[in-house]
A and B are shown apart, each in its own frame.
Chain A
């Protein structure tokens, strides 16, 4: 895993809840699109996993989620066996992977990392974040259970945690402002945030980011902007003849 580790954290959350042993291999953002990591993941992003029990090497957190659930959630603590519920969990996972993650990501990019401040781009993505929260609120408010599928926490609920957990920093708002008009989403989110497994992970995350001397947005301490960071990486690569 590497900087701003929302997707790796998502995987670790599942591994923690399933009580599986794991080891984190953390490395710098500088190296994510280079060998040897691109031999593991040609797309050069995190996370990726290696499972020594099966020999499987896998990239894309959604694919990893489905693998871990199929391989290790044999008692269906966080999943369902029945067809409709299984497909519903899958549907929510895909919504998180393609409809939440990338848009929260673009919001964060234009608010904090892009080389210039672009109000219309920021407006576009903050509106989309609000819309997504609204979609979740509408669904959760209409359900008897507090969970997205059935009546228990599944991997579908868990997948949303990492990005939602960063919203206050990303949007530069208080949590009351973030969750305004979305009390069901807030309650759902906070149930998961209060889990011991999640709290352990936040400690782990903070420790790793401290070890790598990173600010909350993934930019190393002492560097102002992401643009400066990219320039420094390019300069280092040139100096090392890469």
Chain B
């Protein structure tokens, strides 16, 4: 591992998706670094030469001369190429596939809906209550799905009692909601007891804690900036 060149994760400041990849890289003990691109440059060359969709993350692995975009595909690549000891995945058929269900749930059922909430709460040109309500309800429903699953199975993690890449992938967007967070500030996530315990269990892991701190610091700055702007008016 020590003779590996650092893997590069293209990110954009506080954008959540690159952090999914960072959690996996850190848990696998791989050398890596963020290369942060301003949001305004993402949909232009040269970045679109790496990722025609103009989003983050993209991974460049100089050790294998490969560039991959889409966080789900990047995570699959890292697991296949670098998780030989099955630290973050199962090799048994049922568990391997169950992990994928949660992975795809994250990329298509959590991420985009939480992202739309962020958009309509923070960035859309007008405040549309029914759109904000739609996505707030979906955020609650998604948390409820995870909470219900953990309660029903009584396991520490989503698939059995071992952490998998699926647990890690769900972290960034979940961190962004609830009291003291950026989105859905009126939603008290502690009401979902199993979900809350699972998030704490994940954050107790040193690798997760280390990456989470970087993420938290960036968001703290943003929230402080927002408070300052409010007080100016």
Which of A's residues lie within 8 Å of B, judged by CB? Answer: 42-45, 54-56, 58-63, 66-67, 83-84, 87-88, 90-91, 93-95, 97-99, 101-103, 106, 114-116, 118, 120-121, 124, 135, 138-139
Contact = CB atoms under 8 A, between A and B. Distances in A.
A235 B147 CA distance: 27
Interface in B89-114: 93-94, 97-98, 100-101, 103-105, 107-109, 111-113
Contacts of A54: 93
Contact of A58 (B55, B101, B119): B101
B128 A121 contact: yes
Given A87-B77, A120-B125, A135 B52 contact: yes
B165 interface: no
A135 B47 CA distance: 13
A75 B60 CA distance: 30
A84 B66 contact: yes
Interface of B: 52-55, 66, 68-73, 76-77, 93-94, 97-98, 100-101, 103-105, 107-109, 111-113, 116, 119-120, 124-126, 128, 130-131, 134, 145, 148-149, 152
Contact of B72 (A44, A98, A115, A124): A98
Query: B interface, by DSSP: helix, strand, loop or mixed?
Result: helix
A67 B100 contact: yes
Contacts of A88: 68
Given A62-B104, A67-B100, A116-B130, A99 B53 contact: yes
Contacts of B104: 60-63, 97
A95 B77 CA distance: 15
A60 B53 contact: no
A103 B77 CA distance: 25
B94 A56 contact: yes
A124 B120 CA distance: 11
Contact of A135 (B53, B68, B103, B112): B53
B101 A98 contact: no
